[in-house]
Structure 1
Amino acid sequence: MTDYSADQVIWTSRVTDAFGPVVELQDDQGKVSYYNVEKEFDVAGASYAVLRSENGNEDDEPEIFKILTAADGSLELVTIDDDDEWENVSELYDELTFPE
């Protein structure tokens, strides 16, 4: 996988448009958590959402999810399982959030 750069980013709002500024996620055990949508962007043909737990504080690291579109057009947020992809996306988010 190639490294992403800030000039490749296209800002989006698909998750916010579909669900609003707060999304409800359910884990494998059925526990529901609420997250504020901080940023959404497309890069290198993939879409990502940066979410922050409503129950956390501002110092907590946000979570980054991949946005997938189902055949029916609905959106799904999934964890990023590929270590290289996660590293590239998290570094890109840091670069976008904390420019040098």
Structure 2
Amino acid sequence: MVNKGKEELSTLRQAYGDEVELQGDDGASQLFRIMAELNLNGNNYAILQSEAMKQEDEIEAFRVVADPSGDVQLETITDEDEWEQVAEAYDDSRFGSDDQP
């Protein structure tokens, strides 16, 4: 179930604003726009998009977690099924779902 209540989904935006800068494995930094925050099956997720990804209509999904001090961090989703569920939930939130009555 996707929860889209603003008070529960603003964690990442409260910490970083509308954009977040991430550093890749190669050490290069890239700016991503926070497209959405979702709560799915008890986990929080962020949908991010760089300017280059926007050109290709692609997104990246990350799990949003808080470290012991309460700071918000992004974790890469390594499970392909989990990533697909998050991407589908994001699409459903944008375009609606054919599965809904």
Could you say which TM-score interval applies, normalised by the shorter chain? 0.7 to 0.9
What stretches of structure 1 of length at least 5 have no aligned partner? none
2:28 is aligned with 1:31: yes
Higher relative contact order (Cα pairs below 8 Å, separated by 6+ residues) = 1
Which amino acid letter does the alignment assign opposite residue 31 of structure 1?
A: A
2:67 is aligned with 1:73: no
2:30 is aligned with 1:47: no
Q: How high is the TM-score relative to the length of structure 1?
A: 0.82
What stretches of structure 2 of length at least 5 have no aligned partner? none
Whether contact under 8 Å (2:53, 2:59) holds in the other structure is: no
Aligned-residue offset at 1:63: 1.2
Q: Which runs of 4+ in 1 moved over 4 A?
A: none
Instruction: Quote the Cα distance in structure 1 between the aligned partners of 2:72 and 2:51.
Output: 21
Instruction: Quote the Cα distance in structure 1 between the aligned partners of 2:34 and 2:66.
Output: 17
Instruction: Quote the Cα distance in structure 2 between the aligned partners of 1:13 and 1:25.
Output: 19
Count of aligned pairs: 94
Percent identity over the alignment? Answer: 36
Q: How high is the TM-score relative to the length of structure 2?
A: 0.82
2:54 is aligned with 1:57: yes
Q: How large is the RMSD of aligned CA atoms in angstroms?
A: 1.6
